[in-house]
Amino acid sequence: MSVNTNDKKVDAKRRLLLAGCAAGGLGVMAIAVAQPKDRVIKVTAKRFDFSPSVIPLKRGVPVILELTSLDIPMGFNAPDFGVRADMVPGKVAKLRFIPDKTGEFTFYCDIFCGSGHESMSGSLVVT
């Protein structure tokens, strides 16, 4: 990770220690420290909507989408960023990625879910 200021370095070290205590394992610790800034956004699907349907993101800032469906199996697919996940009722899928370009990009349901499936899409707005 890139930590520039001394303050941040200290901060990171402290967190490293805390994570070390909690996890008691070097590998886990490294991951815990490497992702201090991930934004978590919950996305739910139900026939034939995503909520939220517009997801604002920052370029270069990692995001974790927590995806679930309220009724039947659906899919979340954002082809511009090469990511997809199944959205299954009762389960939460985590999709982590770092938007690498700005603009408005469509995500859509890629599991056919009925009459209305075709309009089931939303947008990632990356600034």
Partner 1 sequence: MNNGINNDPGNGVDRRGFLRLAGLGGVIFASGLSGWAAAADSMGVAGAEDFFFVQLSDTHWGFEGDVNPDAKGTLQKAVATVNGLEQVPDFIVFTGDLTHTTDDPRERRQRLAQFRDIVAALKVKTVYYMPGEHDAALDNGKAYQEFFGKTHYTFDHKGVHFIVLDNVTDPAARIGDEQLAWLAADLKQQPADARIVVFTHRPLFDLYPQWDWATRDGAKAVELLMPYSNVTVFYGHIHQENHHMTGHIAHHSAKSLIFPLPAPGSQPKRTPLAWDAAHPYQGLGVRTVKPEPRPRNTEYTLNELAVGAAKS
Q: Which residues bind Cu ion (CB under 5 A)?
A: 74, 109, 113, 117, 120
Residue 49 lies near partner 1 (rule: CB under 8 A): no
Nearest-10 crossing angle of helices 26-34, 6-23: 140
Residue 99 lies near partner 1 (rule: CB under 8 A): no
Q: Which lies closer to partner 1 via its Cβ, residue 35 or residue 106? A: 106
Residue 11 lies near partner 1 (rule: CB under 8 A): no
What x/- string results for residues 57 through 76 when contact with partner 1 is judged by CB under 8 A?
----------------x-x-
